[in-house]
Amino acid sequence: MKEKDRAFSSIDFVGQCLVDKERTTAFHKVIDRIVKKNDIVLDLGTGSGVLALSAAKSGAKKVYAVELDNFVAKIAKEAILNNKFNKKISVLIDDARTLHLPQKTKFNIVISEMLTTGMVDESQIQVVNNLHEKKLVDSSTIFLPLRQDTHISLVNADFTMFGFKIPMILHLWKWHKWSNLKIKNITNQLLLSSIYFNKINKEKFDIILSFKVKNNGIINSLYLTSRTFLTDKDFLGDTEALNAPMLVPISEKFVKMGQKVKLKISYTFGSGYRDFNARFIV
């Protein structure tokens, strides 16, 4: 399979994003409010094309919708044609991390919902950095979303499933039933990262955090949650297809109430959990 034909999201996940009413409605409301008549809009990772369509409907002069997956791009093109916005919206099959445009264009608005909790899996950081480095955006460009905040706490999770102990990384999507997954909070919650997409960010992330133990027990997992700020005032927590809380197994450590625990976390944004490292510091 060629690199240009590879994408993080399957067609199933593109559909999940489309039917996520909370997520999609929130984006539509902000797009309708911020898009002006002569705006040039860039929609990265367009998927179904629904946000590009929203920008065109809201009055954008031109919308460039970028999609890496050929099959998904074909679906977006059909949707754009069916809704009679094919003169306003151009679908580009390209990798947003190395995006090349037929002509030098400055964008008024960038829509890029290539998000995962903590920006571990998706390549939004690399995508945004590419725009800044190629001077396709400037200080006046509006980024939607503007930023993502991620919080972390240390917990004990019972990974017993169907009679077997299977500790693995889990996306705790709200539409799943997690009643059998017992999670006990062991420490306080801390801010892991606050990432602004309207500026260049380092792609390697490294931090040492000091937690206060609230309950006696065995720490065996990280619990990550993200909040996405579309603007300074508009934000989303976890929805059916966005910001799923993450449960990440780590090496076990017994702790007592009142104890301080230091943890070093390092990973490269967008590289996935294979490069995610978390270890206790004595």
For residues 200 and 209, give the distance between their C-alpha atoms in angstroms, rounded to a whole number.
24
For residues 63 and 119, give the distance between their C-alpha atoms in angstroms, rounded to a whole number.
25
> Could you tell me the mean pLDDT of each successive run of 10 residues in the chain, 282 residues long?
49 90 97 96 97 98 95 96 97 92 84 96 95 93 98 96 93 85 96 97 97 98 98 96 97 97 97 96 88
Query: Domain 3-113 maps to which CATH number in 3.30.465.10, 3.30.300.30, 3.30.390.50, 3.40.50.150?
Result: 3.40.50.150
Q: What is the pLDDT of residue 7?
A: 45
pTM greater than the 0.75 cutoff: yes
For residues 162 and 220, give the distance between their C-alpha atoms in angstroms, rounded to a whole number.
20
Q: What is the pLDDT of residue 175?
A: 86
Nearest CA-CA partner of 46 in 59, 29, 27, 30: 27
Q: Which residues contact 144 (CB under 8 A, 6 or more apart)?
A: 27, 30, 31, 34, 109, 110, 111, 112, 230, 231
| Cis peptide leading into residue 167 (ω within 30°) | no
For residues 65 and 111, give the distance between their C-alpha atoms in angstroms, rounded to a whole number.
9
For residues 165 and 177, give the distance between their C-alpha atoms in angstroms, rounded to a whole number.
18
Q: What is the pLDDT of residue 100?
A: 79
* β-bridge partners, 208: 264
Does the domain formed by 148-281 have CATH 3.40.50.300? Answer: no
Q: What is the pLDDT of residue 11?
A: 85
Angle between helices 11-19 and 70-82 (to 10 degrees): 40
Q: What is the pLDDT of residue 258?
A: 96
Q: What is the pLDDT of residue 102?
A: 65
Domain ranges of the chain: 3-113, 148-281
